[in-house]
Amino acid sequence: MPQGQPSVVPDDGLTTRQRRNRPLVFVHTGPGKGKSTAAFGLALRAWNQGWPIGVFQFVKSAKWKVGEENALRTLGASGEGGSVDWFKMGEGWSWVQRDRQFSNEEAAREGWEQVKRDLAAERYKLYVLDEFAYPLHWGWVDTDEVISVLRDRPGNQHVVITGRNAPAALVGFADLVTEMTKVKHPMDAGQKGQRGIEW
Amino acid sequence: MPQGQPSVVPDDGLTTRQRRNRPLVFVHTGPGKGKSTAAFGLALRAWNQGWPIGVFQFVKSAKWKVGEENALRTLGASGEGGSVDWFKMGEGWSWVQRDRQFSNEEAAREGWEQVKRDLAAERYKLYVLDEFAYPLHWGWVDTDEVISVLRDRPGNQHVVITGRNAPAALVGFADLVTEMTKVKHPMDAGQKGQRGIEW
């Protein structure tokens, strides 16, 4: 946990308080575990501050992240802390007509369009764009446009983007980037994922 | 999220199910962000499985981790999911007499003694030993003894240890090790920590 004095004081015309409350873009990338998990952990702090939270899951999964989803939904409904909205790609983009079939690529683009609308409306104070690095890496969503939208977003909205292959331009733009490196994983030793640990 | 087939199948005499449900030791180390945050994210999954969770914070902090603590306590008290016990070093080891003054070193040792008792009693199914790598690194608690106790722990108890300088022997012993690498941090650009983000 970083504390104390920053290593440099920038000549940006901002007061310490203005700089402190600057909205941030986080990127959690790299081949190791914990990218999404740390994003949901961050959401716990946001919830504790009473912030409205929007989670957008950009990669379809058989197991999704039911543990984190149930926990954050329970917190959002607890009557304390902030609210939690949780959207799953394809099956879960609630604004997409249920009777239409979308490709994964279309669904990812639809998701990003919704994030843009929410940013413009300042709907949330923390956005978790889970696995969003993948559609960027695959070119389904344009990284330059994402950077432009994030740079110009109004108000005080924090955005966390997770996923293995975050584009270099996004890493260059983000305020805080952590790379999770795999040192050792039990699947290397022949173990499959287990309930409560992997999902 | 790793899925699919493990890369090797070990010759350990265990069935896939036995191997899958093997209790795990996790280490989150390295200089980057997200070590503790990912551990608390893991606790969300454990909570969702109904597991009893014990959190032991081994390094005293002015700010502690109030967001995560409030969120996990709220979940623990929600009547759904697992229970959550949360202990803070020194001021918080609930089994330590409040009127005695302990040094940080004594408090860390007391905390570890309690973890040993809880492991022997199989009190929790997930232990978050937050920042426990520090007292190990400083030699306040003996790493070899910790490894020995973890190796011989009964039942099906998972243990997560976080902290920057995890001893090499612990990394060698653990089942899953993730190193968080700092790529970029806003404090490098002269920004101090902010509420809801750093705590």
Rounded Cα–Cα distance for residues B64 and B48 (Å): 24
Rounded Cα–Cα distance for residues A19 and B171 (Å): 38
Residue A10 is assigned to a structural domain of this protein: no
Residue A192 is assigned to a structural domain of this protein: no
Residue B191 is assigned to a structural domain of this protein: no
Choice among A156-165, B13-22, B43-52, B167-176 with the minimum mean pLDDT = B13-22
CA distances from B123 to A119, A192, B36, B140 (A): 45, 26, 22, 24
Burial class (CB in 10 A: 0-12, 13-18, 19+), A13: exposed
Closest CA to A150 of A119, A123, A117, A112: A119
Give yes or no for residue A113 having a pLDDT over 70: yes
pLDDT in tens, B144-191: 999 999 999 999 999 999 999 999 999 999 999 999 987 776 655 555
Residue B29 is assigned to a structural domain of this protein: no
On chain B, the residues whose CB falls within 8 A of the CB of A194 are 20-21
Residue A199 is assigned to a structural domain of this protein: no
Number of domains in chain A: 1
- Among chain B residues, CA nearest to A160: B197
What range defines the domain where residue B117 resides? 42-181
On chain B, the residues whose CB falls within 8 A of the CB of A65 are 1, 45
For the domain that residue B142 is a member of, what is the CATH number? 3.40.50.300
pLDDT in tens, A20-66: 678 999 999 998 888 999 999 899 999 999 999 999 999 877 667 88
Residue A6 makes CB contacts below 8 A (sequence gap 6+) with: B187, B188, B189, B190, B191, B192
Residue B194 is assigned to a structural domain of this protein: no
Tokens of B124: 């929790």
Q: Which residue has the higher pLDDT, A72 or A12?
A: A72
pLDDT in tens, B123-132: 999 999 999 9
Closest CA to A41 of A151, A165, A130, A109: A130
Interface probe, candidates A25, A179, A198, A199, chain B, greatest B C-beta count within 10 A:
A179
Residue A186 is assigned to a structural domain of this protein: no
Residue A195 is assigned to a structural domain of this protein: no
Tokens of A89: 């790609």
On chain A, the residues whose CB falls within 8 A of the CB of B62 are 3
